[in-house]
Chains A and B, each alone.
Chain A
Amino acid sequence: MATDLVPEVVRPAADSSRPAPPPKRRPRDLRRDLLRYRWLYLLLLPGLAYFLVFKYLPMYGLTIAFKDYVPFLGYSGSEWVGLKHFQELFTGPDFGRLMFNTLLLALLTIVFVFPAPIVVALMLNELRVNVLKRSVQSLIYIPHFLSWTIVASLTYLLFSVDFGVIANWIHGVLGGEKTDYVAQADWFRPLIVLQLLWKQTGWGTIIYLAALAGVDSQLYEAARVDGAGRWRQFWHITLPAIRPTIVVMAILTSGNLLDSGFEQIWLMTTSLNRDVADVFDTFVYYVGITQGAFSYATAVGLFKGVIGVLLIFGSNWLAKRLGERGLF
């Protein structure tokens, strides 16, 4: 590195009688900075290019949400229609149902799926036998690597009314009429949550376990000397230690609240549960790809994106108000 090419300018102290002032920051000079750290900036370029090409340029395509887009006419040729598609979405018969389904799934995710890795990580942390801890940990993150297609097939296989192993088992225990879990609308949300728990919990523990590994063991020793039991140690040391991680994860999750996971939902949708299964993600696919209503689908997607951004800023603000550090 050739950062030392520009010599520091030594300035005489203004008043030598005073105690040595803190080294003064020179006013920022971008050009100098660029020159000085040129190699670092060079390293930044590919990343910038990536975001520009794959994240920002495509945003131009969002303009079709405000047009009656006909591919043959292209972006410039298609007619501007202002907010027509948004109006259609908000006043259309589907909006209420989509919003309700999406929000309810989001709520269920927050209540059941989000805390699960925290609980499991804390439990694993209490395990003192290292071998056991490691093997449990590895075992529970295997499902993360299975695709949703496989998870959905497994669900059908285990819960279908005629051959489903679990379905038959429940029937055996509870008796009564056989239930078709995969077809019934009432079972759609429980199944979705169960699938999420099964697939994501183990994987989610990784970050919390990492946070827990960083806790200074002296704290525990000190607490024990002071007579703190397991519970006290957990309450006063472990939990505060991972609180920042939880907050950051919560903020990040909030941005994706309306992302219900297209693949999972789509695979589990049938004629019988469509009313409760339709969410923005599947709707965008259905309208955009299978019906070719590109403008409308883009409008829906854009609306979803805007809500996501608002939620991120909102929860970040909330976190700061609650005395946490927040994301930015």
Chain B
Amino acid sequence: MSTLPRLRHKIIAATSLALSTALLAAGCSGGSDDADQQAGFGELTVMTKLFGTAPDPNGEMQQAVEKLIGKKLKVTWVPNAEYGDKANVTLASDSIPDVMVVNEKSPSFVKAAEAGAFWDLTGKLDKYPNLKPADEQTAKNSMVNGKTYGIYRVRPALRSGIVIRKDWLAKLGLKEPETVGDLYAIAKAFTEQDPDGNGKKDTYGLIIPKWPGNYASASPYDVIETWFGAPNGWGERDGKLVPGFDTPEFLEANRWLKKWITEGLVNKDFATLDTGNWNDPFVQGKGGMIIDVNVRATQLLDLFKEKNPKDFDKVTLIGNLKRDDGQKFSYPFTGYNDVMAISKQRIRTEAQLDDVLKTLDKLQSKEGSILLTNGIEGRNFEVEGEYAVPINQNDPKVKAIQNDVDKAFIQLGTRASVGLGAYKVKPADEASRKMRESFDVLMNEDLKTAVHNPALGVIAPTSVAKGQTLDTIVPDARIKYLSGAISEDQLKAQIKRWYDGGGTDIAKEVNDLAAKAGG
């Protein structure tokens, strides 16, 4: 079990907090100094996510991007796993970069933004053709109480799905599921009818990892609850917005899933399995289903192929399911992942802001999107119809470009990852191509029944102040209930505890704010 090397960084961060040294560094923020007067011209500093090793600051990609925007570019690359922590620590320091990729709903960002640390971009983006929000729902989702604090980074609006072992289905003569009942039957068969044919009862239906996020964070639980008709986060009941976990559908979905767990249809270590090892039981043939984002299907396809080149077609992807009464509710995503916010501390004047926005606009243009998503044409890829085909990948220099693009620079794009303006990468084989194409088909189908969260754009002040004590109550209780540690009545008592601990205020504020935002 490879466990969590990234934690070390968190620990270092925690220690420095305990000693308050990190906070000392923040002591002189807010004062003025001349060194930053030039910020926003000549050089642009950015902080964003990284999924591999950091690019060489003098590398070809960096130079190409700098040439495009006509500025020096200084990027602080932060590994994805510790991004949230690092962002919070950065917000507490006086070294906020010009442009920062942040979760605009995190309490520390909301506090900072409301204190005036970041530019309010509401209504300012329409001037810039490539920064203007392309989708209204997403633009609304990414707001903080009616204000736009950043340029959202587009992601597909619906990515939830179920990955199933295709060969197991075939072996047991089962059809692809359409309803939650079908799914249960498949899980049961996967557990009891020896789908891998080794004569032993050593398989199970569904694989769930220890989920890192809280309630309504696209966990398998959240997706399943939505199938049963529970709200996605917040939903309207009797004309009022209520949290999704305070509905009968929530309880029904969990009662249903609990049956799975009691009957052994789910991996026993579902409360402790690290997300980093989520694929292992699937590829090892222990479990036969994963409920997650659609790209996990292609990941798993590749993993099977890695093990055995002939195994390129072992996986199938299913969209959201119908409830047993035939009604369908699909779990949508927010349509974006984090926003790019602009620091007021570094970018002081409207003129400077305009300059930064112009630069970002250039970066998100068609040319920029291709550069950030595909790389340098003729160097690491060629265009072939609608596809980009990788070339010269044996040349270590080209390989470096490819890596810099895939693991790092693509994160500077706000529109790149859904292929807006850029080329799609040509799939390696027929199965991958079909799988990729199915993403859009499933998405468009499921979007018709998507359950949107009407409260995404609002942040209740109480949840900013008391989130730390409230956020874990319900997701923890949910897992305890599922694992059999507490009864349904105790689960309900925990939900009441959430209300008593400040949830009542949050519900009231969310209702007021959503009404004001014209929801």
Q: Which residues of A contact B (CB under 8 A)?
A: 54, 57-62, 64, 69-77, 92-94, 147, 149, 152-153, 156-157, 160-162, 178, 180, 182-185, 262-263, 266-267, 270-272, 274-275, 281, 284-294, 296-298, 301
B342 to chain A, nearest CB (A): 13
Q: How far is the CA of A286 from the CA of B14 in the complex (A)?
A: 9
B28 at the interface (CB under 8 A from A): yes
Q: How far is the CA of A161 from the CA of B13 in the complex (A)?
A: 32
| Contacting pair B8 A297 (CB below 8 A) | no
B residues in contact with A160, CB < 8 Å: 1, 269, 272
Are A266 and B11 CB-contacts (below 8 A) given A74-B29, A156-B272, A183-B272? yes
A77 to chain B, nearest CB (A): 5
Shortest beta-carbon contacts, A-B, top 10: A292-B108, A61-B20, A74-B30, A72-B117, A153-B3, A285-B14, A61-B23, A271-B479, A291-B468, A70-B115
| Contacting pair A291 B7 (CB below 8 A) | no
Q: How far is the CA of A294 from the CA of B19 in the complex (A)?
A: 12
B31 at the interface (CB under 8 A from A): yes
| Contacting pair B469 A92 (CB below 8 A) | yes
| Contacting pair B115 A289 (CB below 8 A) | no
| Contacting pair A272 B7 (CB below 8 A) | no
B480 at the interface (CB under 8 A from A): yes
Pick from B20, B467, B485: contact of A62, CB under 8 Å: B20
B10 at the interface (CB under 8 A from A): yes
B24 at the interface (CB under 8 A from A): yes
Are A71 and B8 CB-contacts (below 8 A) given A180-B269, A272-B485, A291-B468? no
| Contacting pair B480 A272 (CB below 8 A) | yes
| Contacting pair B24 A61 (CB below 8 A) | yes
B residues in contact with A274, CB < 8 Å: 472, 476
| Chain A residue at smallest Cβ distance from B93 | A71
| Contacting pair B18 A58 (CB below 8 A) | no
Q: Can you report 20 A-B residue pairs in the complex whose CB atoms are below 8 A from each other?
A: A58-B20, A58-B23, A58-B24, A62-B20, A70-B112, A71-B92, A72-B112, A74-B26, A76-B30, A93-B469, A153-B4, A178-B268, A183-B272, A184-B485, A270-B271, A284-B18, A291-B106, A291-B107, A291-B471, A293-B468
B residues in contact with A185, CB < 8 Å: 485
B8 to chain A, nearest CB (A): 7
B406 to chain A, nearest CB (A): 28
Q: How far is the CA of A70 from the CA of B112 in the complex (A)?
A: 6
| Contacting pair B467 A58 (CB below 8 A) | no
A209 to chain B, nearest CB (A): 30
B residues in contact with A77, CB < 8 Å: 30
B111 at the interface (CB under 8 A from A): yes
Pick from A76, A156, A298: contact of B23, CB under 8 Å: A298
A154 to chain B, nearest CB (A): 9
Choose, from B83-91, B184-192, B301-309, B504-512, the stretch at the interface: B83-91
| Contacting pair A270 B31 (CB below 8 A) | no
Q: How far is the CA of A182 from the CA of B271 in the complex (A)?
A: 9
B5 at the interface (CB under 8 A from A): yes
A35 to chain B, nearest CB (A): 35
B residues in contact with A298, CB < 8 Å: 17, 20, 23
B257 to chain A, nearest CB (A): 15
| Chain B residue at smallest Cβ distance from A297 | B17
B residues in contact with A70, CB < 8 Å: 111-112, 115, 117
| Contacting pair A72 B116 (CB below 8 A) | yes
Q: How far is the CA of A278 from the CA of B233 in the complex (A)?
A: 26
| Contacting pair A182 B272 (CB below 8 A) | yes
Pick from A72, A162, A182, A301: contact of B267, CB under 8 Å: A162
B residues in contact with A149, CB < 8 Å: 3-5, 7-8
A175 to chain B, nearest CB (A): 17
| Contacting pair A57 B24 (CB below 8 A) | yes
Q: How far is the CA of A70 from the CA of B94 in the complex (A)?
A: 11
A residues in contact with B107, CB < 8 Å: 291-293
Q: How far is the CA of A272 from the CA of B268 in the complex (A)?
A: 13
| Contacting pair B467 A291 (CB below 8 A) | yes
| Chain B residue at smallest Cβ distance from A259 | B18
| Contacting pair A292 B92 (CB below 8 A) | yes
| Contacting pair B7 A267 (CB below 8 A) | yes
| Chain B residue at smallest Cβ distance from A152 | B3
| Chain B residue at smallest Cβ distance from A62 | B20
A residues in contact with B14, CB < 8 Å: 262, 266, 281, 284-285, 288-289
A residues in contact with B3, CB < 8 Å: 149, 152-153, 156, 267
| Contacting pair B85 A286 (CB below 8 A) | no
B27 at the interface (CB under 8 A from A): yes
| Contacting pair B115 A73 (CB below 8 A) | yes
| Chain B residue at smallest Cβ distance from A77 | B30
Q: How far is the CA of A60 from the CA of B25 in the complex (A)?
A: 11
A residues in contact with B345, CB < 8 Å: 72
Pick from A266, A270, A287: contact of B7, CB under 8 Å: A266
| Contacting pair B17 A272 (CB below 8 A) | no
Q: How far is the CA of A156 from the CA of B116 in the complex (A)?
A: 45
| Contacting pair A75 B26 (CB below 8 A) | yes
| Chain B residue at smallest Cβ distance from A300 | B18
B318 to chain A, nearest CB (A): 26
B210 at the interface (CB under 8 A from A): yes
| Contacting pair B106 A292 (CB below 8 A) | yes
B279 at the interface (CB under 8 A from A): no
Pick from B24, B271, B475: contact of A183, CB under 8 Å: B271
| Chain B residue at smallest Cβ distance from A55 | B19
Are A292 and B17 CB-contacts (below 8 A) given A183-B269, A272-B479? no
Pick from B29, B88, B117, B475: contact of A289, CB under 8 Å: B88
| Contacting pair B469 A301 (CB below 8 A) | no
Are A58 and B19 CB-contacts (below 8 A) given A74-B31, A285-B14? yes
Q: How far is the CA of A288 from the CA of B467 in the complex (A)?
A: 12
B193 at the interface (CB under 8 A from A): no
B residues in contact with A58, CB < 8 Å: 19-21, 23-24
| Contacting pair B17 A284 (CB below 8 A) | yes
| Contacting pair B269 A161 (CB below 8 A) | yes
B501 at the interface (CB under 8 A from A): yes
| Chain B residue at smallest Cβ distance from A296 | B468
B483 at the interface (CB under 8 A from A): yes
Pick from A69, A74, A183, A267: contact of B483, CB under 8 Å: A183
| Chain B residue at smallest Cβ distance from A70 | B115
| Contacting pair B28 A157 (CB below 8 A) | no
| Chain A residue at smallest Cβ distance from B14 | A285
Q: How far is the CA of A58 from the CA of B22 in the complex (A)?
A: 9
A17 to chain B, nearest CB (A): 64
Chain B, range 123-163, C-beta contacts under 8 Å to A: none
Interface centre among A75, A270, A290 (most CB of B within 10 A): A290
- B443-487 interface bits toward A, Cβ cutoff 8 Å, 1 = contact, 0 = none: 000000000000000000000010111011001100110010100
A257 to chain B, nearest CB (A): 15
A residues in contact with B465, CB < 8 Å: 293
Pick from A153, A263, A291: contact of B11, CB under 8 Å: A263
